[in-house]
Amino acid sequence: MNLWTFAGICLIVASGSSEFYSPSDDVVKLTADNFVASVLNSDKVWVVEFYATWCSFSRDLVPTYREVATALKDFVNVGAFNCEESQAERDVCGQIQINYYPTILIFGAKKYDPVEYNGDDTVKDIIWAAFSLALYSSSDDVVALTAANFDKTVLKSDEVWVVEFYAPFCGHCRNLVPEYRKAATALKGVIKVGGVNCEEEQSLCGQHGVRGYPTLKIFGANKRSPVDYNGQRTAKDIAEAALAEAKKKIKNVLGGGSSGSSGGDSSSGSSDDVIELTDANFDKLVLQSEDTWLVEFFAPWCGHCKNLAPHWAKAATELKGKVKLGALDATVHQVKASQFGVQGYPTIKYFPGGQKDRNSAENYDGGRTSSDIVNWALEKYSDNIPAPELVQLTSEKVARDTCESKPLCVVSVLPHILDCNAECRNRYLTILKTMGDKYKKKQWGWLWTEGGAQLELESTLDIGGFGYPAMAVVNLKKMKYSLLRGSFSEDGINEFLRDLSFGRGHTAPVKGAELPKIHSVEPWDGKDGQLPEEDEYDLSDVDLDEKDEL
């Protein structure tokens, strides 16, 4: 048998041998007869391995894939499709464009646009990829919540919401799924139940102070101060806690009592984390630092200040390492209180990170509970992360400094300056800077070079086949890359990067599993390119003999 292999895969050149999976396995046998009905017409998420029994890499994957199927049994359907079983199966694999074995595809909500799995062949990694699409489906009564719809759907609604903040890789989150689905169905029409995937919505989860998974919060009468649910993780207990919050809201509306949202949220903070500020140290600690600050101007006799104190301490503890919280006694240190126009107590001012002066201060307009303070501060903090620098690839050192420690490196190859003048190039650079700012929270590295300056790099990443400009995103840890196939525009690049950030998109191994040599080049001077001057020759003074006559 003539069997060719490449980078841990079997190319399609042969057929034969016996089956890998038996009816006793948790792997569903898929064929040409049942594939459409079982997978494409299903509401469930499917993980499907396309394999050939003669392929040694398919055979090596069998024990791992069996473990994956068993682990996912109650959450995701796992199937296997033998592409060499008969001509009918070959036709299906051809239609899906299976070019090597084994190929694992994850069929999520868009069944006709499956996601190819390109990670390591480990149980954990395959399960992680499956759960990134699969904790809750559109057929569940659990509403998918994102940064785009959270405020409108939850915070600005009149309904009580139970929201789970989860991560697909979290075992406790997976264990909660059946009970949470059951609670959502039981509460349907009475209380809304939603879920936030914190792997995809890191900023949103950060705003709500999520520190572990799963975190359940009940958004009742005071939406800006949700109640943390710490009860048993059963459908009955979750439903009862939600109904209790709904009852509080009703009593509050009818004037029968408070919503209870201001209590129980003020413990477990340390006053040691609140920094004491004075007229003498304020400029040095706050204005002359690069840190982000929230500063409370208070009076010792003020009742509202006393009520705020435990919440302020708890917020300081939770925000440690990101936002500093300080307190200044305005009755003693009146110079600073006067400079910042303090006229009542407590007054809270926000000072952004980076260079600042007294005019940088902003008024705090959030709530007075620790969760309100934390959420408000984290939102400001994430908004003020600086955009990454867009760096020209001029040397090996620049490549390492820009991308070595980053999760991904975005490499753009722009047209040569003689084909695209300074104005043209600056338009492309502006697009890249805009995208860098949009995806700044990802903390990727951003490099650019001009066509022809780094030919070995272009060859390694298959850049240039579609012309310039071109873009590749490289994972240096896994030595894999993905090419931009759409337009080099804000919309085209945004769609490409968004898919990559969600774990979607096609990737390929970097040739040779290492990046090529990077040549040292002069940085662009920001000017139009100039054609090299041609030497002029005057033939009038040249003596020609007869043999040399023109």
Query: What do you get for the CA distance between the two ends of the chain, in Å?
Result: 67
Strands 409-414, 445-450: pairing is: parallel
Annotation says 198 is catalytic: no
Which entry of 55, 93, 173, 198 is annotated as an active-site residue? Answer: 173
Predicted confidence at residue 129, as pLDDT, reads 76
The answer to whether the CB of 414 falls within 8 A of the CB of 450 is yes
State both tokens at 151: 């405020």
CATH of 28-132, one of 3.30.420.40, 3.40.30.10, 1.10.760.10, 2.60.40.10: 3.40.30.10
Predicted confidence at residue 256, as pLDDT, reads 46
Predicted confidence at residue 536, as pLDDT, reads 66
Q: Which CATH architecture has domain 275-384?
A: 3-Layer(aba) Sandwich (3.40)
Residue 255: φ, ψ to 5°:
85, 15
Residue whose tokens read 């799963």: 214
* Total residue count of the chain as it appears in this document: 550
Which entry of 55, 198, 205, 305 is annotated as an active-site residue? Answer: 305
The answer to whether the CB of 375 falls within 8 A of the CB of 366 is yes
In the three-class reduction of DSSP (H, G, I as helix; E, B as strand; rest coil), residue 389 is classed as coil
Annotation says 305 is catalytic: yes
Quote the percentage of the chain above a pLDDT of 90. 48
What are the extents of the domains in the chain? 28-132, 143-250, 275-384, 391-509
**Count of Cβ atoms closer than 10 Å to residue 457 Cβ:** 22
Same fold for the domain at 28-132 and the one at 275-384? yes
Predicted confidence at residue 141, as pLDDT, reads 87
Segment 31-61, tens digit of pLDDT: 999 999 999 988 778 999 999 999 989 999 9
Predicted confidence at residue 185, as pLDDT, reads 92
Segment 486-513, tens digit of pLDDT: 899 999 999 999 888 776 778 889 888 8
Q: Sort 2 into a burial class: Cβ within 10 Å, 0-12 / 13-18 / 19+.
A: exposed
| Beta bridge partners of residue 51, listed in sequence order | 82
For the CA atoms of 172, 173, 179, 180, the dihedral, rounded to the nearest 10 degrees, stands at 150
Predicted confidence at residue 138, as pLDDT, reads 62
* Residues in the chain where the model's pLDDT stays below 50: 1-7, 13-17, 256-267, 548-550
Please report how the helices 370-383 and 303-318 are oriented relative to each other, as an axis angle in degrees rounded to 10.
50
To the question of domain 391-509 being in CATH 3.40.30.10, the answer is yes
For the CA atoms of 276, 279, 283, 284, the dihedral, rounded to the nearest 10 degrees, stands at -60
Strands 508-509, 480-483: pairing is: antiparallel
Segment 233-276, tens digit of pLDDT: 999 999 999 998 898 888 777 764 433 333 334 445 556 789 99
Predicted confidence at residue 264, as pLDDT, reads 38
The answer to whether the CB of 114 falls within 8 A of the CB of 106 is yes
Predicted confidence at residue 32, as pLDDT, reads 94
Q: How far is CA 350 from CA 238, 353, 407, 531, in A?
A: 37, 10, 31, 54
CATH class of the domain defined by 143-250: alpha beta
Annotation says 409 is catalytic: no
What is the spatial distance between Cα 52 and Cα 372, in angstroms, rounded to a whole number?
56
Annotation says 424 is catalytic: no
Predicted confidence at residue 158, as pLDDT, reads 87
The pTM assigned to this predicted structure is 0.40
